Amino acid sequence: MAVAVGTPKIGAHSPRRLPPSPAGPWRPALPPVEYGFRENPPPSQGGARGGIHDPASHHMSMRPLKRVTKVTRDRAIDLRKQATHPEKLLWSILSSRQLAGLKFRRQHPIEPFIVDFYCAEAKLVIELDGESHNGRESYDAERSKLLANLGLNVMRITNDEVLTNLDGVAEGILRVVRLAQEKRRESLP
């Protein structure tokens, strides 16, 4: 039986074909886009593998990551299930587009971080700072800076503000959203 050169025989191992990309069959499938930040180098480069990091000696670099990892996604789901009272209270006014029709997500992963609340249309991250943030001011500031480098507006609110002045917190969020929208309009040609 004669077989054309370069044609694999039936049953012979041949290279696996990739499915067509969403752009069409004429383009090869592309690897996933990388984005986000990595907190430390991978173990092969001397970094730690997971675990708790000391915020004082910790330095986050702008090393890109792949899409949201399963670990981060699972952690976000756990955090949603274990919401604190101030988080539940703030979510009660942010959920279901109750605040000026804005869609918020809670415990939203932005790799490698999980932010408390996120509004994509306003590019707004809201972080609640409670007792667990005491002594982590420099880590929180660096994290806010890295999120700002992604073009996000970061708003930090204390748990006490949510518990004692929920209406004032809602007004403050709306004020930040309006300022961000005005800034975006001014930057357009």
Domain membership flag for residue 24: no
DSSP per-residue codes, 58-110? ---B---B-S--HHHHHHHHHHHHT--HHHHHHHHHHGGGTTTT---EEEEEE
pTM for this prediction: 0.65
Domain of residue 181, residue span: 43-48+56-187
Domain membership flag for residue 23: no
Q: How many folded domains does the chain comprise?
A: 1
The enclosing domain of 120 has a CATH number of 3.40.960.10
In the three-class reduction of DSSP (H, G, I as helix; E, B as strand; rest coil), residue 10 is classed as coil
Residue 184 has a pLDDT of 84
62-72 per-position pLDDT tens digit = 444 458 899 99
Domain membership flag for residue 120: yes
CA distance 92 to 160: 16
CA distance 67 to 42: 16
93-117 per-position pLDDT tens digit = 999 999 999 999 999 999 889 999 9
Q: Which residue has the higher pLDDT, 180 or 42?
A: 180
Query: Using an 8 Å Cβ cutoff, are 118 and 45 in contact?
Result: no
